[in-house]
A and B are shown apart, each in its own frame.
Chain A
Amino acid sequence: MAETAAAKRPLPVVEFLKIPEQGEPYLEGQRCKECSAIFLGERDSCSKCGARGRFEARRLANQGSLYVYSIVHRSFPGIEVPYISAIVDLEGGGTVKGNLINIDPVPEKVKMGMPVEVIFKVAPTKDREGNEYLTYYFQPRR
């Protein structure tokens, strides 16, 4: 039974979304110990300073601010529009791209610099094997 339950846990949508056994999911950055640049996903070398194998995993903040965005009205077939493609600077470092939800997708409402937070939800689509995925979104912070 335990094995079945484990198999049903959603998979992370990207490598840098971490789902611990206990506690809340979070986004993880890889910080270069030489130059402090933060990357998403594990890597061998730093593309800022060239240091090799000098990374430490770091839990990224769930709070950030909207850097820039676009409101996408035409995408590939089957993708629901409109949606807001957002680039968010997280507090303490790390920049992440994702969908900004729970706000009207009109330029009058979306303000660059507005405080946002990262939330985690099961994605609306499954893969071919029927696996569910946990994804992240941004939403305005109250």
Chain B
Amino acid sequence: MSDVYVMGIDMIKFGRFPDRSVPELGAEAALLALDDAGLKIQDMQALYSGNLMQAGAMVGQRILQEIGQTGIPVTNSANACATGATAFREGWTAIKAGLYDLVLVVGVEQLGKTGLLGGGGGGKGIPKEGLLGSSTMPAVFAEAGMEHARKYGTTFEQFAKISVKNHKHSVKNPKSMYRMETPLEMVMNAEMIAYPNTKLMCSVNVDGAAAAVLASASKARELGLRRAVRVAASVLTSDPWSERDLVMPDVNTCTRRAAAQAYEMAGIGPEDLDLVELHDCFATAEILHYENLGLCKEGEAGRMIDSGATAHGGRIPVNVSGGLLSKGHPLGATGVANIYEVSTHLRGEAGERQVEGAKLGLTHVIGLGSACGIHILERAA
């Protein structure tokens, strides 16, 4: 089976664009990625589009109605917050299968200032939110973090330090929604949403889009590998049965399984990575994924954030883009935007936030419910 290469990739600056439509945002990212690859929409043999909130509305086709209706097959994907990574993997799979040499992937979302996600209606009778606990996302991920606190004594302060780090990183990312440092006291004293997650420890609801052009190995060689990024692993898992998962979604097991498969597929270990963009939908989540991805030993994630190992300049920088906590989390775009961030470092084009000499990076997203998508990317040239 052919290797798969990223030949072009880009994202729009995340923000709020109430006057623009989902297809318009997707189209802008698609054109940026095509320009980055030096290719045209007529060169694309298929489109894989990821969007969650308009999952029934043919977003991929509407993107082509903006930039060129060439009649290619379009697949629309929805997989909660793993939507973008799922669309990317659909494109990867098609090239692996030998169907196409060039495909376009777009992830796009328009969230605006949507409030709390999750929870709410559904079911018969009276509303259960606030009566039988909470199924809002901040509370669900707070409970997941408290499991770590229960096992290892992780503190509110350690969770808060995740947010301090990622907000600091975002200052150097011109495509981030926010670019403001948030000192520890500010994070800990922000409005409490669902203990231990304060408002600054929750990801930002934004509009955004990101897109990539993928190529087979033969096509990539023909186009030139100088700025190409090899997809060394692409893995998608769902959550296997676990003891409490019907009342407490398990984001750990599916991540651990995906990571093990990804490292095996790429023939590397976590110690070989130069940077990681992982799913910091809440500050509590990032702590869990240090261990889930094997970036540190079991129970050491709290000490890892204390040590600075995951800050820019540390042993293994995590979320140098600013992460979902500051760059923003446009659900369907997030998985492709993470791949953009890592690819940009592997190409040596990340400007003042560049992780020097980056050769290998990993991206990770979780869609609650659950889906885990992991990609390992390698500098080709």
Which residues of B sit under 8 angstroms from A135, Cβ to Cβ?
131-132
Tell me, yes or no, whether A119 is within 8 Å of chain B by CB: no
Number of interface residues of A (CB under 8 A): 42
B176-197 toward A: CB 8 Å interface, digit per residue (1/0)? 0000000000000001111111
Give a binary string over A22-51; 1 marks a CB under 8 Å from any B CB, 0 the rest: 000000000000000101100000011000
A4 at interface, CB cutoff 8 A: no
Interface size class of B (residues with CB under 8 A): 35 or more
B127 engages A70 (CB within 8 Å) = no
- Measured in the bound complex, the distance between the Cα atoms of B125 and A125 in whole Å is 10
With CB as the reference atom, state the residue of chain B lying closest to A136.
B132
Q: Contact between B126 and A123 (Cβ–Cβ < 8 Å)?
A: yes
- In the complex, which of the residues B123, B132, B149, B244 has the most CB atoms of chain A within 10 Å of its own CB atom? B132
Q: Bound state CA distance, A69 and B244, in angstroms?
A: 13
In chain B between 134 and 161, which residues have their CB closer than 8 angstroms to a CB of chain A?
A: 134, 136, 138-139, 142-144, 146-147, 149-150, 156
**In whole angstroms, how far apart are the Cα atoms of A136 and B133 in the complex?**
11
B18 at the interface (CB under 8 A from A): no
| Contact of B126 (CB < 8 Å), options: A68, A113, A127 | A127
Q: In the complex, which residues of chain B have a beta carbon less than 8 angstroms from the beta carbon of A86?
A: 133
A contact residues around B246 at 8 Å (CB): 39-40, 95
Which single residue of chain A is at the shortest CB-CB distance from B127? Answer: A125
Interface membership of B247, Cβ < 8 A? yes
* B243 within 8 Å of A (CB atoms): yes
CB-CB under 8 A from A97, the residues of chain B are 132-133, 247-248
A127–B193 Cα gap in the complex (Å)? 28
A98 at the interface (CB under 8 A from B): yes
- Report if A68-B193 is in contact (Cβ < 8 Å); known contacts: A76-B120, A85-B133: no
A68: B residues at CB distance < 8 A: 143-144, 146-147, 150, 248
Is the CB–CB distance between A87 and B133 below 8 Å? yes
A133 to B128: give the CA distance in the assembly, Å: 11
Contacts from B to A (Cβ < 8 Å):
116, 119-120, 123, 125-134, 136, 138-139, 142-144, 146-147, 149-150, 156, 191-197, 241, 243-244, 246-248
Chain A interface residues toward B at CB < 8 A: 11, 13-14, 37, 39-40, 47-48, 67-76, 79-81, 83, 85-87, 89, 95-99, 107, 112-113, 123, 125-127, 131, 133, 135-136
For the complex of A and B, the 10 pairs showing the least CB-CB separation, nearest first, are A70-B142, A85-B133, A79-B130, A71-B195, A85-B134, A68-B146, A97-B247, A48-B241, A97-B133, A73-B192
